[in-house]
Amino acid sequence: MDSPERKSISRRKLLKIGALATATIATGLHPILMAGADNGQDIPQNPNQIGFVFNQELCIGCRSCMAACKKTNNWEEGTMWRRVLQFEKDRIHLSISCNHCEEPACVTACPVKAYTKREKDGIVIHDPDKCVGCKYCLYVCPYHAPQFSEHTGRISKCSFCYERLENGEQPACISACPTGALSYGKLIELRTAAAYTEQPKGLPDPKITKPSWVIIPKA
């Protein structure tokens, strides 16, 4: 006698499960790309990860780093691999390029795998010959490191001058810096040093991509 009732309940259940499953599929995919962003910044996952150091106390805003980078890397028209930003009031500067993040959003987002993160030193290298120019990385990078050239229709960005490193040279920007404001080193060593930050005021939360940089702020 109770069979029709049971049937209707089970059908309702089925609908519920179906709706839940759809919702789960739709929302469940969402956190996949955002997982694991709550580790501390201090200990790099890769002990060999290198990063730029920028000392705001020492920078005089001469932009030699930009000029040297442009010359060495032959910036494609309309691109700026390194930028020197200035906070007018206090003459505080920030020289910024790619932060070769520990969790680079560009590597995850790029559909054609034009980005690779090297195991041996954590440098994030972009291969313009693989880039299709979809511009997704322009949105996902919080630091505006990838640069699109309308002229060539593709992205390019800072490579940490890895070819120079392999020849025992320093990155061009660091060689050119007259005051020593810009340098680099192994992140694991740099982060034991004095007062530093990964988030200069006004910049994005480092938890998003874990940038491999060390900023020594102006006292």
Partner 1 sequence: MEIHWHWLIVIYLFLGGLGSGAYLTSFAAEKGWLGKNSSLARAGYYLSGPLVAIGTSLLVLDLGQGFHQPWLLIRLILNVQSVMTWGVYILSAFIIVGVIKGYAVFKHIKIPAALTWAGTVLALATGTYSGLLLSVVDAVPFWNSPVMPFLFVVSGLSTGLSATCLLAPLVEKGSINEGREGQVHLGVVGLELIIATIFFGTMLMGINGPIGVESAKIVLIGRYAIVFWGYFVGLGLIIPLIVYLLQFIKARKESKLHLTQIDFSNTEQAAASENGHHSYLNKFTDVAVLIAGLALRALILFSALPLWDGVSIL
Q: Summarize as ranges the residues that interact with partner 1 (CB under 8 A).
A: 22, 25-27, 29-30, 33-34, 83, 85-87, 92, 94, 105, 107-113, 130-136, 138-144, 148, 152-155, 200-205, 208
Dist CA 39 CA 22 (whole Å): 31
Q: Is 23 helix (H, G, I), strand (E, B) or coil?
A: helix
Residue 108 CA neighbour count, 13 Å, CB half: 14
Q: Which is nearer to partner 1, 50 or 122 (CB)?
A: 122
Nearest approach in angstroms of CB 102 to partner 1 is 15
CB of 94 to partner 1, least distance (A): 5
Q: Report the distance separating Cα 219 and Cα 199, nearest Å.
A: 15
Kindly state the smallest distance separating residue 87's Cβ from partner 1, in Å.
5
CA pair distance 138, 153, nearest whole angstrom: 13
- Residue closer to partner 1 by CB (options 22, 47) is 22
In angstroms, the CA 128 to CA 155 distance is 6
Whether residue 63 contacts residue 56, with contact meaning beta carbons closer than 8 Å, is answered with no
Say how far apart CA 118 and CA 183 lie, in whole Å. Answer: 20
Nearest approach, Cβ of 145 to partner 1 (angstroms)?
9
Do 185 and 41 contact (CB within 8 A), yes or no? no
End-to-end Cα spacing for the chain: 83
Side chain identity, residue 64? S
For partner 1, the closer CB: 43 or 85: 85
DSSP H or E run through 155? strand 154-156
Give the nearest distance from C-beta 151 to partner 1 in angstroms: 10
Q: Shortest Cβ distance from residue 213 to partner 1 (Å)?
A: 14
Distance CA 205, CA 201 (A): 10
Closer of 50 and 84 to partner 1 (Cβ): 84
Of 148 and 160, nearer to partner 1 (C-beta) is 148
**Cβ-based nearer residue to partner 1, 6 or 89:** 89
The residue (of 185 and 200) whose beta carbon lies closer to partner 1 is 200
In the complex, the smallest distance separating the C-beta of residue 26 from partner 1, rounded to whole angstroms, is 5
